[in-house]
Amino acid sequence: MLVLNNANELDKVLPEEQRKAVEQWFASGKKGIVGLHAALVHQTKWPWLNALGGCDFNSDSDFTKAKVIVDPAAKDHLSVKGLPAEFWIEADWTNHDRPVTGLPGFNVLLRVDESTYTPVRDYFKTRGGKPMGADHPIAWTHEPATGGRFFYTEFGHDLRSLSTPFVRQHILEGIKWAAQKPEAGEVFTPLFNGKDLTGWEGDPALWKVEDGVVTGTCSGPERPKHNSFLIWRGGVLKDFELRATIRIIGDNNSGIQYRSRPLPEVGPWAITGYQCDIHPAIEHTGMTYEERGRGIFGLNGMNVALDPDRSRWLIGVIVHEHGSSDGIGCCLK
């Protein structure tokens, strides 16, 4: 899964060998690419991406409100499902050099009605900027005959639109579609056999199986000298989705490590890497934490960027579909 977040003029960013690697990766089966807004700006010098997206940039509008129309044939696509046939929203609207309507493998999801706003801002009026007219797609999918999925949306540029519940859900569902979630008949592989800790390694004084459940307890007056993890030794994974049912008792906390490595110099079963925190406090459960590294990135419900000098920037608050800003907290029991 690759997200091109307003990544324009990629021929100037990625050397040719890296661009070829992306092409080969996408062609290798069940791969997805999502393009947000400027991902289709000045990409003609990367012909493969230009063909995958179907068009390139001509000009754009000011940030303004306009009427958006759901393509009737696409009303059941999860990125637009449940929307009214027409609705109004503010964004900066891109004029492409051609509509993708009717191109092989392309399906338009949304169009913007140019009669409801000024499609070309003043800057581009003297630079060859042209409106698209009656057929102005702003979101679409492309499934090439060679395989793979591409999802594009004009949303995702300005935080004023990106912070709206609709746009966040629209982009999330587009990512999920492009990522090609497991189809009917595909199953998850259990990592725990429900009987014992075969395939796992950890301190036997702390970890055991009770009533078909992996249980970790620390009893007695002495605490472990360091965090001691139960480590799955069943193989090396590529991209994966992990599903687990968890429970904590009392004022305790734990976590699920991923993309981690052992630290034998610290002690047995010590590791470093990313952790999905499991905590009695809602704001901590599900947060991203780096064990023996950069610590807490951001609390649950926060969208945080971490820059190269390790400064943290809060760039948004995730609002659940039920209206809660507690992130996944509103789903916990």
Q: What are the tens digits of pLDDT across the range 153-190?
A: 999 888 888 888 899 999 999 999 999 865 555 567 88
| Contact call for residues 61 and 92 (beta carbons, < 8 A) | yes
Mean pLDDT of the region 298-312: 78
CA angle 213/331/292 to nearest 5° reads 65
What is the distance between the alpha carbons of residues 120 and 185, in angstroms, rounded to a whole number? 48
Q: Is the dihedral of CA 19, 54, 175, 298 positive or negative?
A: positive
What is the distance between the alpha carbons of residues 24 and 3, in angstroms, rounded to a whole number? 16
What's the pLDDT score for residue 320?
47
What's the pLDDT score for residue 324?
47
| Residue 152 token pair | 């594009």
Tell me the CATH number for domain 2-179.
3.40.50.880
Sequence-distant (≥ 6) Cβ neighbours of residue 197 within 8 angstroms: 207, 208, 209, 214, 230
Q: Look-up: residue for tokens 């579609």?
A: 177
Examine the pLDDT at 325 and tell me if it is beyond 50.
no
Q: What are the structural domain ranges in the chain?
A: 2-179, 200-331
Question: Alpha carbon of 264 to those of 267, 269, 271, 293: distances in Å?
Answer: 5, 7, 8, 16
DSSP helix/strand/coil, 329? helix
What is the distance between the alpha carbons of residues 326 and 333, in angstroms, rounded to a whole number? 13
Examine the pLDDT at 323 and tell me if it is beyond 50.
no
pLDDT in tens, 62-74: 999 999 999 999 9
| Contact call for residues 86 and 71 (beta carbons, < 8 A) | no
Q: Look-up: residue for tokens 């429900």?
A: 194
- Regarding beta strands 213-216 and 231-232, do their DSSP bridges make them parallel or antiparallel, or are they unpaired? unpaired
Q: What letter does residue 331 receive in the DSSP assignment?
A: G
Return the percentage of the chain with pLDDT > 90, whole number. 56
Q: Max Cα separation, the chain?
A: 77
